[in-house]
Structure 1
Amino acid sequence: MSHAHRHHARCACALRAMAGKPFVLPGTTRKYERSRPFSIEHIALDLTLDMGRKSVEGSATLTLVRVDPEATEVRLDAVALVIASVQLDQGQGPQPVRYVHDGEVLVVTVAEGVSRARLVVNYRATPRRGLYFLAPDEHVRDRPTQVWSQCQDEDARYWFPCHDKPHARQTTEMRVRVPKGWYALSNGTLQGHTTEGEHEVYHWLQGKPHPSYLVTLAAGEFSVLDGGEVAGVPLTYLVPRGREEDGQRTFAGTPAMVAHFGQVTGTPFPWEKYAQVVVSDFIFGGMENTSATTMYEHILLDPRAALDISSDDLIAHELAHQWFGDLVTCRDWSHGWLNEGFATYFEHIDRERRLGLDEYELGVKGDLDAYLTEAVSRYQRPIVCQDYEAPIDLFDRHLYEKGGLVLHMLRRTLGDELFWKGVQLYLSRHAHGIVETRDLLRALEDASGRSLERFFDQWVFKAGHPTVEVKVEHAGGLLLVEVKQTQKTGADVPVFAFDLEIDIYPEHGEPRREILPVEGVTESFVLTQEDRPRFLVVDPRFL
């Protein structure tokens, strides 16, 4: 969005400095997922933070369930972990087991007869990504001492062993020892808080499955603010000490957002709690960890800043992810727009609730400008794209802004009732599961009775957008409208089929809207119009 509306960075949105270059460079290989002969049902972490060494030590206990009856090994992502021991527990207690660790993948031997077991990995990690240790230094003397995680897109592997892909969902728990006086936040509900010598011990349990990239830890000296409840869900805001008033001011709109998003999606807030924690030096604007969003420090507004700007766009974006990304998760990052497109669009849904339709459309127009900047000056790609170097490359204006614009067009095409009916069906049908773009397509088709194959094929699975020239002539009581698509077409960029709306404002009388079905490169339409119109508005609703 333009600066006047979107003041904050968001989760993982990156600007690629690739002016004039294609998205896919020579040598880029298509990405496919590896096999998963064992599913992971639960991950239990028991960790101690070592602030001096900026490391974490402890154990990860993974509950494995066999899928492939002939498999003899399980492969876990575990980058630069120092493995002390690996044990397998089949019900008779942990026993040492053979393993190989090459610094990136931990391969553990599992006998064919084992259908279910607990794998215990004792290890130490000094992560260069995924988990970050902050402390004052000669450059930033007032930096607070904190630890926080940022696992999206595939960085959980740097601090605990897991299947680090979005389609692998499991329940999780974390028992973590932190310095005395600290608070440690993680996913789910707090099971216990005790003191062991110089450590505070926090035990969190996430009882509903979620992917590894949404596992979180944020630890430091925070003030915990009570945000009230919405439909029985407790809200909390964790802010640096001394910023309590700014925290209440900044997050004041959260309860109304939670209620509204639950209403339009037909799904009440799907987790046990919702916490928002503000940390220092966070690498993105926010991160939608399940039930516990992390925000960067710039989100907090003092009384003077609050007169001019708002943090509601970022708050709404990360909150929307609790449904889109957390409750239903893209199968792989090529379908990541199902996470980010929805979250971007829900910024405008919240803006429409608070400020009205004009502000909604202004926000949509800002996203259109942002997408077109990338599409015209950098590259064009399909929203769903399996050809990329690293997952972070996909987190661009196509994934966020164009993804949100597609949802806007679907809403305008289907109408509010059918669009929201389809979204509600999509969420209820796939809750706590993984999704692909065709799952959304089918839900919208089932809810509306309309065929949307062509819409999704050209707007989501193909690249580009229509560039249109419209010429209008009036003669003999007729209005002649010629529409020409001028975009360069090819294997990835199609000739688009769409309905072009035109509002006609006559010299006398009320304006009327005409819908012109465009399917070819050049289309001509003849409309009855006795008097020469004063003016016309092409695409008045940003369809």
Structure 2
Amino acid sequence: MFLTPHRHAPRTRPRRTAAVLLATAVSVSLVAASAPVVPLGVGDRLFPHLGNPGYDVAAYDLSFTYPGTNDKPLRAVTTIDAWTTADLERVNLDFAHGTVRSVEVDGEPAKFAAAGEDLVITPGKPVPDGNRMRITVRHTSDPVPPRGREGGWVRTADGLAMANQADAAHLVFPGNDHPSDKAMFTIRVTAPEGHTVVAGGLPAGVHTSGGSTTWTYRTLHPMATELAQVSIGRSTVLHRSGPQGLPVRDVVPTRHRKALEPWLRKTPGQIAWMESRLGRYPFETYGLLVADATTGFELETQTLSLFERQLFTEPAHPKWYVESIMVHELAHQWFGDSVSPRTWSDLWLNEGHATWYEALYAEKQGGKSLRDRMKSAYGASDGWRAAGGPPAAPKAPEPGNKIGIFRHNVYDGAALVLYALRQEIGATAFESLQRAWVGRHRDGNASTADFVRLAGEITGRDLAAFFQDWLYGKKTPPMPGHPDWKAAAPSGTAAR
């Protein structure tokens, strides 16, 4: 995610056994009920109730029927194939904004109830450890956001898109909404004539009947729930080829196609530039979804990054700036999408690297010195750490502001850590580390500890103390090679 500074700067799970019933305004509307149940989580420090223990999702099959207007609920069916990792008498799914009509487990009706932002399912009989389990939930998916929440469906001028980061996919569909549980996705959407549907992955069929069309897409690589994307609108899909024949498709509002085309044709060259640094692009396709919506951010949804149209059509934005933001979201396809964080405290690995390549591209295209940007970041770093926590130990978001983890400390503050690392180990070792990181952990999850371990392996050095100070220290350490750089005293004002 990149929160665009032309509007505002970056806004900037073990099993729980306590019997706590949560009453919340954001809850699942149910047509059935069961005995008292509790929300669970996988122990994420920043989002304690996010994700669920006891199973590992292998695949999602999401079906939506769009009614033709973006202010009414979509009919939906979510099918989840998962492997159990414990004996389960109940199965918790994250789901917080829709009406559940029925639930089946392995084809048999199951009881269900709400607990906080969990949908708690009680099968007719327990599901033993090590078994394949299929859960089918028939529900609605409401595009009108619940009061006090952000994310999920984004209503555009002519339809819908998704923005599920960091804690909002379960506003759209039930699932295991934590990046540590990646899975394959099949997404099918039925929409009235005149609408175009595009989703992450590659097309897998189009069927028209009775004035409606059903569009199907499948991923070829596992994906975190927060990275799912669906575009429904009166759109034009533009196709071109990227490096080594990579299919590049962009989704744009038809009436803005001409104005957007000069920007979109830059993507293949940007992919080639990133490949020269990191190796081959990690997915089956890429492109931009340009939405007529005001979100305040751009978002690295897997294979189809979400952008506000105004980023490209607002004349005040310099060319180099717009292109560097395009590269920021492209870089996330390696850092955050292909290599996903193990916990949300590992967010700096996503945003720090995306900001790093954004800054390198701004230097290349706009002559904006990386060194000067990092020196400026160094001056502000103590303030960012005071406001948002150290890069690898960010403060939890405030209630009602779940995207509050996206602060300066995990953007330029984390890129500053990478600059210090390059100063410490040298450019050659640093570049080897980047390539090894995205290669070794491709299609998986990795943590800060994994990065520290790999850096030591690449350099043959014990870098534990270096990373401890830079990633977890309350104060910014001295910058290697720049002893004259000074950090300003924190002002006490939180990053916004």
With normalisation by structure 2, the TM-score equals: 0.81
Write 1 or 2 for the structure with the bigger share of strand: 1
The counterpart of 1:37, out of the listed 38, 42, 54, is: 54
Is residue 150–residue 287 contact of structure 1 (8 Å, CA) maintained in 2? yes
Structure 1 residue corresponding to 2:89, chosen from 68, 72, 88: 72
| Helix, strand or coil at the partner of 1:58 | strand
Cross-structure match for 2:201: 188
Higher helix share: 2
Q: Is the 8 A contact 2:394 2:405 kept in 1?
A: no
Q: Report what 2:331 is aligned to.
A: 320
* Residue of structure 2 aligned with 1:278, choices 276, 290, 297: 290
Instruction: State the match for 1:257 in structure 2.
Output: 270
Which of 57, 61, 70 is equivalent to 2:79?
61
Partner of 1:85, secondary structure, is: strand
Offset, 1:126: 1.8
1:209 equivalent in alignment to 2:222 = yes
Among candidates 2, 8, 13, match of residue 10 of structure 2: 13
CA contact (8 A) 2:379 2:485 kept: no
Partner of 1:346: 357
- The SS at the match of 1:242 is helix
Give the deviation of 1:297 after TM superposition: 1.2
Residue equivalent to 2:239: 226
**Structure 1 equivalent of residue 472 of structure 2:** 461
Query: Does 1:406 find its partner at 2:421?
Result: no
Q: Does 1:331 align with 2:319?
A: no
Task: Tell me, in whole angstroms, the C-alpha distance in 1 between the residues paired with 2:447 and 2:286.
Answer: 26
Say if 1:315 and 1:34 are closer, same or farther in 2 by CA, change over 3 A.
closer
Structure 2: stretches of 5+ with no match in the other structure = 13-44, 487-496
Q: Which residue of 2 aligns with 1:98?
A: 111
- Aligned position for 1:290: 302
Match of 2:66 in 1: 49
Confirm whether residue 364 of structure 1 aligns to residue 381 of structure 2.
no
Aligned amino acid, residue 269 of structure 1: Y
Match for 1:382 among 390, 393, 408? Answer: 390
Task: Measure, in 1, the Cα distance between the counterparts of 2:335 and 2:46.
Answer: 25
Instruction: Give the CA deviation at 1:408.
Output: 1.2
Unaligned stretches of 5+ in structure 1? 1-5, 16-28, 136-143, 466-495, 503-537
Change (3 A) 1:402 1:387: closer
Q: Is the 8 A contact 1:282 1:295 kept in 2?
A: no
Q: Quick one: which amino acid aligns to residue 332 of structure 1? A: T
For the 8 Å contact 2:311–2:317, the answer to whether it is kept is no
The answer (yes or no) to whether the contact 1:277–1:295 under 8 Å persists in 2 is yes
In 2, the alpha carbon distance for the partners of 1:389 and 1:237 equals: 33
> Aligned residue for 1:160?
173
TM superposition shift of 1:134: 3.6
Taking structure 1 as reference, are residues 113 and 168 closer, same or farther at Cα in structure 2, changes over 3 Å only? closer
State the partner residue of 1:490: none
- Tell me the distance in 1 between the aligned counterparts of 2:321 and 2:366: 13
Structure 1 residue 132 corresponds to structure 2 residue 149: no
Matched residue type, 1:403: A
Matched residue type, 2:374: V
Alignment of 1:498-517 (within 5 A): 499-501=480-482
1:166 and 1:329 in contact (8 A); partners too: yes
Instruction: Give the deviation of 1:260 after TM superposition.
Output: 1.8
SS in 2 for 1:460: helix
Q: In structure 1, what residue type is equivalent to 2:413?
A: K
Q: Quick check: 1:371–1:402 contact (8 Å CA) kept in 2?
A: yes
Post-superposition shift, 1:441? 1.0
Structure 1 residue 331 displacement after superposition = 1.3
Structure 1 pair 198–364 and aligned structure 2 pair: CA distance change class (3 A): farther
Q: Deviations over 1:204-247 (max 9, x none)?
A: 10121111000111111122223322222111222222322322
In 2, distance between residues paired with 1:294 and 1:276?
6
Q: 1:276 and 1:369, CA in 2 relative to 1: closer, same or farther beyond 3 A?
A: farther
Is the CA contact (8 Å cut-off) linking 2:338 and 2:443 kept in structure 1?
yes
What letter corresponds to residue 132 of structure 1 in structure 2?
W
Q: Is the 8 A contact 1:381 1:463 kept in 2?
A: yes
Q: Pick closer, same or farther for the CA change 1:173–1:282 going to 2, 3 Å.
A: farther
Q: Counterpart of 2:96 in structure 1: which amino acid?
A: V
Question: Could you tell me whether the CA contact under 8 Å between 2:60 and 2:184 is conserved in 1?
Answer: yes
Question: Contact conserved, 2:110 with 2:121, CA < 8 A, in 1?
Answer: yes
Asked if 1 retains the 8 angstrom alpha-carbon contact of 2:88 and 2:128, the reply is: no
2:493 alignment counterpart: none
Cα distance between partner residues in 2 of 1:276 and 1:102:
37
1:414 is aligned with what amino acid? I
Q: Please state whether the residue corresponding to 2:333 is helix, strand or coil.
A: coil
Map of 1:397 onto structure 2: 408
Return closer, same or farther for 1:150/1:501 CA change in 2, 3 Å cut-off: closer
**TM-aligned CA distance change 1:282 to 1:270, over 3 Å:** farther
CA distance in 2, matches of 1:146, 1:370: 40
Distance between the aligned counterparts of 2:65 and 2:360, measured in 1? 42
SS of residue paired to 2:136: strand
Q: CA deviation at 1:440?
A: 1.0
> Equivalents in 2 of 1:399, 1:284: separation in Å?
17
State which drifts further: 103-112 or 76-85: 103-112
- 3-state SS, counterpart of residue 324 of structure 1: coil
58-67 or 277-286, larger mean C-alpha shift: 277-286
> CA offsets per residue over residues 416-462 of structure 1, 9 Å max, x none?
21001111111222111111111111111111112211111011012
Q: Which residue of 2 aligns with 1:419?
A: 430
For 1:202 and 1:42, the matched residues in 2 are separated by: 18
* Distance in 1 between residues matched to 2:277 and 2:54, nearest whole Å: 38
Does structure 2 conserve the Cα–Cα contact (< 8 Å) formed by 1:257 and 1:350?
no
Rounded Cα–Cα distance in structure 2 between residues aligned with 1:424 and 1:308: 28
Give 2:475's aligned amino acid.
Answer: G
